[in-house]
Every structure is written in C-alpha cells, then in structure tokens.
Chains A and B, each alone.
Chain A
Amino acid sequence: MSSRIFSYATLSVVLLFLLGPFVIIVAAALSAGETLAFPPQGLSLKWVIKVFEVESFRASFALSMFLAIFGTLAALVLGVPVAYAASRYKLPFGETIRTIVSAPIIVPGIIVGLALLRYLVLPLDVSVGLALFIAHTALILPYAVRVVSASLDNLRSDIEEAAVLLGSSRIATFFRIVLPNIQNGILAAFILGFVTSFNQVPVSLFLSGPGVRTLPIDMIWYMEITYDPSVAALAALLAFLSISIVFLAERFLGFSRYV
C-alpha cells in the first residue's frame, strides 16, 4: 500500500519536473503581456502570430527543414548500403567500418562544427551552407545505419535468394523485395534523423552566420536581443511539431521498435 503512494508521489513529482517547463512555455507563449512571464497576464495568440512574421525565423525555419529533409535523405543513401553490406555479408574490415560510421555520435558536435569551419570552410572556401549540409548528413548517418540494420537483421535473406532464382537480378531484388519489406524501418530512420537534425545545436554553432542560421541558433540569437514571448511561442510550436511527428510515427509504425 505504502509503495503505491510512493510510486504515485514519485511519478507526479518527476513528471512535473520533466513536463512542467513545457507547459510553462505554452502558457508564456499565450501571454497577452509584453514580457516573458509566468503566469501570463491574460491570454492572446499575438505572439504565436508574431513568430510567423519574423523574417529571420522564416528563413532559418526553411534552412532547418532543408537540412533535416535532405541531410537525412543523404544519410540514408549512404547508410542503407552499409547496413545491407554489414547485415548480409561478412564485410572486410567490418569492425573498423562500423566504428568509423558510428563515430559522429561519439564526437561532441561542437568539435565537428569547429573542425569543419577551420579545415573545410576556410581553407577550401566551401560555402557555409554546404558545410552545414555535410555536417548534418554525417551526424545522422550513425542513426540511419543503426535503425536500418535492425530492420534488415529481422528480414530473412532466403526471400532474396528465392527472387534471384526466379530470374531477378541482384539490384532488382533489392528494390523489389528488400526495400518494400524494410520500408517501415527506413521511415523510422527518417523520422529519427529528421528530429535529430532539426533540434541540433552544437554542430551548427560555428557554421552559422548572418543569413545562414538554423532555427535553434536563430532562436538563441533572438533571445539575446529581445525578451519578448515570441521565442516562447516558437519553442512551443516546435515542441508540438516534434511531439506530433513522433506520436504519429508510433501510432502508424510502432516507431519504438526500431529505436
């Protein structure tokens, strides 16, 4: 009996701690007042509307979307073959390749950003946008490989052999037989990569500049200038976006199986 009370008490406090801030941001975002405060003085949607009007937010949102979508696509294009090679074959230098491809998760993002700035952007005069794209792709690659590998390991390889014997070429077999059966895994990898890239800060820190900022960086910059609730509104909107995507993914894909 007392353990029940203990459980409920613990859970209430912890969930309050973890989710409370989120609730507060939403409340602050709906404030009718002029400054950031909680509890809000009156309710209004004006700050939420303002978010869409701030020019730099629109630009950085577009950039973040672009990086998230195409960076993840690039990571999948690179990562699916590696996952396939590691799953179906005895890959030469298998361990080494696996380590190299997983490395981006281990190295702190800020170091990657700095290194790319110093040795790719400056000396080779690579555009900051391209460097960001490369950095995000590299960052998502380990996630893509891991999730797709899990899917492939669960798929029997004898159906590929069956297809070949019925006359299909190896490549055609991959597209006709393997892909359709791992498409949920690929979708899960895409969602995971998208959310990771979108929320990414350290990597983008050094690779940003006026006009070229990812959304989180832009939010930080904006916060240093003004103290109004539009940042709260933006944060709340983004939070809703992330949560909805993951919620839908879980509902229709059973997302948690792949992660």
Chain B
Amino acid sequence: MSDANYLELSDLTLAYGKTVAVDRLNLTIRRGELIALLGPSGCGKTTTMRAITGLLRPAGGRITLDGRDITYLPANKRQLGLVFQSYALFPHLNVWENVAFGLKLKKLSSSEIEKKVKAGLSMVGLDQFHTRKPAELSGGQQQRVALARSLVMEPKVLLLDEPLSNLDARLRLEMRTELQRVQRESGVTMVFVTHDQDEALALADRIVVMKDGVIEQLGTPEEVYNTPSSRFVADFVGFENIFALEQGKLKTDDGLKPLSGTASPEAAGLAWRPNAVSLGAGQFKGEVRGVAFAGGTREYLIQSPLGAIKAEMDASAPIFQAGSEIAFDLPPERAAILQRM
C-alpha cells in the first residue's frame, strides 16, 4: 500500500478504566520516517505507543499498518518492534539467546539465525559479548542488545520508549548518533517517545507534541522550535515571554498596547525567546529585578506592566543593574505567533 500513510491512527481513543488517556487521536506516519511523540508525563504518548504495539486495547478508533487494520490484532502478530525503557532483556538468557529469541519463534534454520544474530550484534557494535548475561552488561550495552533483538526481526515499525532518558550525557550523544545511523542504514520506520525536547529536536524528522491526550502540534523540528502554534508548545520549546492578545493588542497594566508590525488579528498570543527581547531602548518600560551571569550570556528578570519579562544578553554587553529602570522592546518580527493559548 501507500508509503505516505504507512502507519495510521484514526480517531484513536484510549482509556484506563474510566479515565480517558487519549481522545480521538489522528496521526499518519510515513514509511521510513523517524517521528517523535513529545510531551510531559501523562500526556498520552506512552499510552499511544502501547496501543500501537497491541499491549493496550483501544476503547475506540482504528490503527492501520501497511494497509492492514491491526486495531485488535494480538500483539504477537503485529511485526512491530519495541525497545522498552527498561530494556526488558530476558535475565535467564545470554546476549546471543536474547537476540535470537524472536528468530527462533519464526522457525528459521539455525544457519539463518546465526547469520542474522551476528549481523544484528555487529550493527550495534556488540560482537564480543555473545555469552554474557544481561546482569553482566552496562546500561548502554543492555540497550544495544534490546535494539539488536528488535532489529533482527525486521519489524515494520520500530518503537522506542524514552531511549535516551536513562543515559548519562556522554552516552546520550553516542546513542543518539547510533540510532540515527541504524535508521539510515536499515531504513526502518521509527517512532520514539520522549519528554526531552532536545532529543526530539535532534533525532526526529517530525515531532508530535502531545498534551492531555491530544496533539498540540505536528511538524518538523524547525517548525515546532521556531513557530510553536500554542502556548503549551511555546513554553515547552523554551519561549519564556508568552502573552495573550486581546483585540490584536498586548494587555498591560496601563491598558492595551498595540504592536507595530504584522501581528495578524486572528492570533491568540505572541511569544518571544529571552534572546529576542532588545534591552536598552523601546516602547516598554520596566524595572530590573534580577541579574544572573550564565557563562556566555547574562540573564535578566524584568518587572513591567506587561508582566514578568525574561531577557538574555550577551555576556560582553553592558550590564543593567538590578533595581534600575530599563526600557525594552519586543520586536514583532521576532515573535512566534500562537494560534491557541
């Protein structure tokens, strides 16, 4: 069937008992893409992932994979791969046996299995560890085994639950590069779940930002980072100064102030990153409440009729003292236009 809607979720509703975790979710995933489900805990991303794998039975809606309706298909027949957050390696089997587990179930010949397991372990860089048991491996090594175990099955879609969260900073970078390489070389469609925007931005072709069981925004990393569509997404990707618009104007203690420039009247709000605020001159006035040196930059907290403003200047720029009056501007061309608040 079509590569454009390789994995499709239609009006998918998921619930735990009476609590609805995901409400009529619609999502189409292309074959071969690397897509991230991003959101805080409780947003429904893990629940959605479990429904795709068949570990959770949907309360409503449909899941289609490669043209086939798999909504109620048993989990062991879906040909999907899942790398668990805890890796879930079989403690009583060694590395080789873990990776070969699924292949043995397919009743392949032992020479076939040997070939595939060798290739799988080689792909994740673990050629030497055949006979070790999971308990004898480091966290990073265990994850590679879990990855190999799923990859040798040549799954239609590979899902990963928080693949980088348990790793320290150095390993995280290594693993990230590893995942990208594996995806490039094997071409497998990858869906991963994370609460970390840096991971999502770095790895994904597209990002699905979720909150309370619905999709807040769906787009490329650049789109999500530069043009968030809602307050939640803006906040999530690091915009600090987020303001609602009333009749196309910003609300301040002294009444509504219009902004020069091209703010569209349908916009619900505007957002600026701290480094987009220009300090020193401008149409707004405020008082510097706090100054903090942050290595390469200096962070300012300013109290103004608009509300609290967080600004960031290069460390070499002149310092504005705490307690002093300051004028600042919010350039409309550097604002992100929010469709929803």
Contact = CB atoms under 8 A, between A and B. Distances in A.
A165 B91 contact: no
Contacts of A170: 76
A180 B92 contact: yes
A167 B86 contact: no
**B: contact size bracket:** 20 to 34
A166 B92 contact: no
Nearest to B92: A180
Contact of B53 (A165, A169, A177): A165
Interface stretch (A153-161, A196-204, A208-216): A153-161
Given A167-B76, A181-B92, A162 B84 contact: yes
Interface string A172-205: 1000010011000000000000000000000000
Interface in B82-111: 82, 84, 86, 88-92, 101-102, 105-106
A166 B88 contact: no
Contact of A161 (B55, B101, B105): B55
A163 B173 CA distance: 29
A180 B97 CA distance: 14
Interface string A129-170: 000000000000000000000000000101101111111111
A159 B90 contact: yes
Contact of A168 (B91, B105, B149): B105
B43 interface: no
Given A161-B55, A166-B153, A156 B88 contact: yes
Question: Which of B55, B76, B102, B150 has its CB near the most chain A CB atoms (within 10 A)?
Answer: B76
Contact of A166 (B54, B55, B86, B105): B105
Question: Which of A156, A159, A163, A169 has its CB near the most chain B CB atoms (within 10 A)?
Answer: A159
Nearest to A162: B88
B139 to A, nearest CB: 15
Nearest to A159: B88
A181 B134 CA distance: 13
Question: Which of A159, A165, A170, A177 has its CB near the most chain B CB atoms (within 10 A)?
Answer: A165
B80 interface: yes
A166 to B, nearest CB: 3
Contacts of B149: 162, 166
Contact of A162 (B77, B78, B82, B105): B82
B91 A159 contact: yes
B218 interface: no
Contact of A167 (B82, B84, B102): B102
Contacts of B153: 166-167
A165 B76 contact: yes
Given A158-B84, A168-B76, A169-B76, A163 B90 contact: yes
A166 B106 CA distance: 9
B199 to A, nearest CB: 21
B81 interface: yes
Contacts of B91: 159, 181
Question: Which of B84, B88, B89, B106 has its CB near the most chain A CB atoms (within 10 A)?
Answer: B88
A169 B84 CA distance: 19
Nearest to A169: B76
Nearest to A167: B105
A158 B76 contact: no
B75 interface: yes
A181 B88 CA distance: 13
Given A158-B84, A158-B86, A159-B91, A164 B101 contact: no
A164 B89 contact: no
Given A161-B55, A162-B82, A167 B106 contact: yes
Contacts of A181: 91-92
Contacts of B150: 166
Contacts of A159: 88-91
A162 B160 CA distance: 12
A165 B90 contact: no
B241 to A, nearest CB: 42
Contacts of B86: 156, 158
Contacts of A156: 86, 88
Closest CB pairs A-B (n = 10): A166-B102, A162-B88, A158-B88, A167-B105, A180-B92, A164-B76, A159-B88, A164-B75, A165-B82, A167-B76
Interface of A: 156, 158-159, 161-170, 172, 177, 180-181
Given A158-B84, A162-B90, 11 more contacts: A156-B88, A159-B88, A159-B89, A159-B90, A161-B88, A165-B82, A166-B153, A168-B102, A168-B105, A170-B76, A180-B92
Interface of B: 53-55, 75-78, 80-82, 84, 86, 88-92, 101-102, 105-106, 149-150, 153
26 contacts: A156-B88, A158-B86, A159-B90, A161-B75, A162-B82, A162-B90, A162-B149, A163-B90, A164-B55, A164-B75, A165-B53, A165-B75, A165-B80, A165-B81, A165-B82, A166-B102, A166-B149, A166-B150, A167-B77, A167-B102, A167-B105, A167-B106, A168-B101, A169-B76, A170-B76, A181-B92
